[in-house]
Structure 1
């Protein structure tokens, strides 16, 4: 096992964690698993998160302060944001294509869909929301019995949904330029201590790095040496944590599943539940990972093969799957892209932290598929104009998603509201979201690595590798 590659060890940890979850649920060990094994998974996430912020801070400062031409930073920034925006729009469009072709929301029993539609109309009337497809099941005599059955039920509102709705409402009502205001920190210490304020840390790091680069070499060099040394310390910390990653991943997977299921049958339901939606979303995510990104790399990067691409970034992909967090995976992503893909530190330290914050291709696919799926489930026909609204809103919402597990659900509320749908519907996908979140985080991280490699190639910052 000593000479086994790290990514193989992580796969073994993943599989062992899932197998243990079945055994644990069958033997009634879930309480033991949650109390004595899951905490090690939490420790793993915390280790990666506390390393991620200072690593981003010092990596960006180190990379930018080493630039001899500041204008190069502007070019890199424009290319980075342009590539990220393009891949996000393509991801949303792919999600819409998949869900409109497969129509997962129509696979439910028609009687149940009629009741769903009636519940939607009751909600719309109560909240004063316009029903944009102009259908009215409430006054149709054909559905009188269903109306009576549905309207007689008390509608429960999940507290978790209420909390997400209030968060989404505050985001929705904010100024169009709020994202620019939010990028500038009021207090650096507070920004560093809050994982949701990564953009503020990036802003400070870029500003600080540019200021160092503009100083005379004699004055700047001591600061540059200090920053580079601190950066090396955090990279060494990443290396040490990753040696124990397979064991941590085992604990993480075992704990996540133990919290969601008490019996083997329930464990199976996690993987089978909401099957049509899950398969549609998984198919779109798989296309991005196994076709779209590799095709871009093989086309634009000389000498890079399909097999090499996955060999180079697989540790980051497996870590993304385990943690469901682009931010927690960032140290591993930086290591893979720099050491395996041959991208220079100047590029990785600038492009990847931005990507972990604003590039959420997997989240945008989920938002597109989930909104149309829920509309189909409730017999709501969305027009082409409304679906274009979803493209725009999902693109902007995904950029605003925090790089933490299930943050896309909060932004999904905004997308639902943009086309007049009930935001409480997000509760429908709660049972399978954690598993699918793991998959879409792999898309996010793979997209980050792809864009970083493209930017490096365009800036002649891509070194040939022997992998």
Structure 2
């Protein structure tokens, strides 16, 4: 049986058991005691390996380029593409929010979200850029600060490229370490059906369907916006990659199912890279360089969610947003999504910043608390969109560089 089939079975079984146990205090306690720890261990195993995985993958990717010119060109292409798709993802989120009006007619009143003291949460682009450079390499890995790890990886890879004429053994060491951490992650990912079962069971048991009924319109708007973005990925592949997007969609299901069930692009990174190389025909250099970079700075799903939720709270508050407000939402959500950690719950840290940026008369922390119930469900969907966007850009850039194996991309893959 294929891994994605096992993951799907785990997802369905966890949901079924969760719905059956929901509402029974004794069953909830049993699941929290004996089943939830399985998912906790699974996530900890992923987080244990993910920082070394990104580091060694990026180093391998950088050292795979023979000259600095091609590295710089592809790096600029990737960064520009990631920022552009994120910005347009926000436009989709804003458009869906304006058309569906998820905050209009809800049972939630603006008074529920106000307080005597509304904390103003500021965001500084200069601070974000400055904080990309770590003062302590070990601390960056200890705290799992992904943007800092990306900086360390790129700096290490560029330095190794300059040393290759002196000694190639150290480059070979990093390539060997890359294979090692990939093998470690592969072992962890084989446990994903059990982790998915546990996480899904606990999610449904603890939250049930009450959350969906109270914030169903918002969740519906999120799903619609994500679906539109998913279709846009196929259009981008057709227009800019000049490829039939159907093979892309068919071969992406396995990593999408893993991302959906774990709510982490990092958790599905190793599987995604394997599919990129072995099924989609993307070159090893692009897979090793662009894809880990994308999982750290490209958050299309989060960008949609942040913009949509901000307008949702504006509608609840009765605030008529101006064009200037929409521009502020677009810019801050773009920066906020880039600054997101790419791990479960990343949007919770960024949403108060955007609410404050447009001066909504609500307490940002109360707003976050309100949507916390559906955030875990929305996180699953937006994570799938995030990783799909990463692969889309990697595929298109590899095609424009002339290194894509189109025969493999178009072939049927039974593995």
Structure 2 length-normalised TM: 0.92
Q: How does 1:429-440 map to 2 (within 5 A)?
A: 429-440=371-382
CA distance in 1, matches of 2:101, 2:282: 41
What are the ranges of 5 or more consecutive residues in structure 1 without an aligned counterpart?
130-164, 262-266
CA distance in 2, matches of 1:309, 1:53: 27
| 1:204-261 superposed Cα distances (whole Å, 9 cap, x missing partner) | 22112112212244x3321122111121122222222222221221112112333x24
Contact in 1 for aligned 2:60/2:289 (Cα 8 Å): no
| 1:180-222 superposed Cα distances (whole Å, 9 cap, x missing partner) | 3212222222212221x112222122112112212244x3321
Q: Secondary structure at the match of 2:320?
A: coil
CA distance in 2, matches of 1:373, 1:271: 16
Shift of 1:11: 1.0
Contact in 2 for aligned 1:52/1:331 (Cα 8 Å): no
| 1:301-354 superposed Cα distances (whole Å, 9 cap, x missing partner) | 455442x21232222211111121222332222222222222122112221222
CA distance in 1, matches of 2:312, 2:288: 38
Q: How does 1:15-94 map to 2 (within 5 A)?
A: 15-25=12-22, 28-94=26-92
Higher CA-based Rg = 1
Distance 1:173 1:361, change over 3 A: closer
| 1:267-318 superposed Cα distances (whole Å, 9 cap, x missing partner) | 12233331111101111012112x1112222344455442x21232222211
CA distance in 1, matches of 2:280, 2:325: 40
Q: How does 1:305-320 map to 2 (within 5 A)?
A: 305-306=245-246, 308-320=247-259
Contact in 2 for aligned 1:278/1:436 (Cα 8 Å): yes
Larger mean Cα displacement after TM superposition, 276-285 or 343-352: 343-352
Contact in 1 for aligned 2:57/2:292 (Cα 8 Å): no
CA distance in 2, matches of 1:427, 1:48: 27
| 1:152-185 superposed Cα distances (whole Å, 9 cap, x missing partner) | xxxxxxxxxxxxx6xx83xx254x3222321222
CA distance in 1, matches of 2:225, 2:54: 30
Tell me the number of residue pairs that the alignment of Structure 1 and Structure 2 aligns: 405
Q: Secondary structure at the match of 2:282?
A: coil
CA distance in 2, matches of 1:178, 1:222: 38
For 1:254, the equivalent position in structure 2 comes to 201
What are the ranges of 5 or more consecutive residues in structure 2 without an aligned counterpart?
none
Q: Choose from 406, 413, 418 the match for 2:352.
A: 413
Q: Choose from 97, 100, 103 the match for 1:99.
A: 97
For 1:298, the equivalent position in structure 2 comes to 238
Shift of 1:370: 0.8
For 1:285, the equivalent position in structure 2 comes to 226
CA distance in 2, matches of 1:283, 1:107: 19
1:331 aligns with 2:270: yes
Shift of 1:102: 1.1
Contact in 1 for aligned 2:164/2:171 (Cα 8 Å): no
CA distance in 1, matches of 2:19, 2:90: 35
Contact in 2 for aligned 1:212/1:220 (Cα 8 Å): no
CA distance in 2, matches of 1:345, 1:35: 43
Distance 1:404 1:107, change over 3 A: same
Q: Choose from 274, 277, 285 the match for 2:215.
A: 274
Contact in 2 for aligned 1:405/1:437 (Cα 8 Å): yes
Distance 1:84 1:394, change over 3 A: same
Distance 1:303 1:377, change over 3 A: closer
1:193 aligns with 2:135: no
For 1:149, the equivalent position in structure 2 comes to none
1:205 aligns with 2:145: no
Q: Secondary structure at the match of 1:78?
A: helix
Q: Choose from 345, 351, 360 the match for 2:284.
A: 345
Contact in 2 for aligned 1:60/1:349 (Cα 8 Å): yes
Structure 1 length-normalised TM: 0.82
Q: Secondary structure at the match of 1:177?
A: helix
Structural RMSD (CA): 2.1
Contact in 2 for aligned 1:48/1:329 (Cα 8 Å): no
Contact in 2 for aligned 1:13/1:249 (Cα 8 Å): yes
Q: Secondary structure at the match of 2:167?
A: helix
CA distance in 1, matches of 2:186, 2:269: 13
Larger mean Cα displacement after TM superposition, 378-387 or 434-443: 378-387
For 2:178, the equivalent position in structure 1 comes to 231
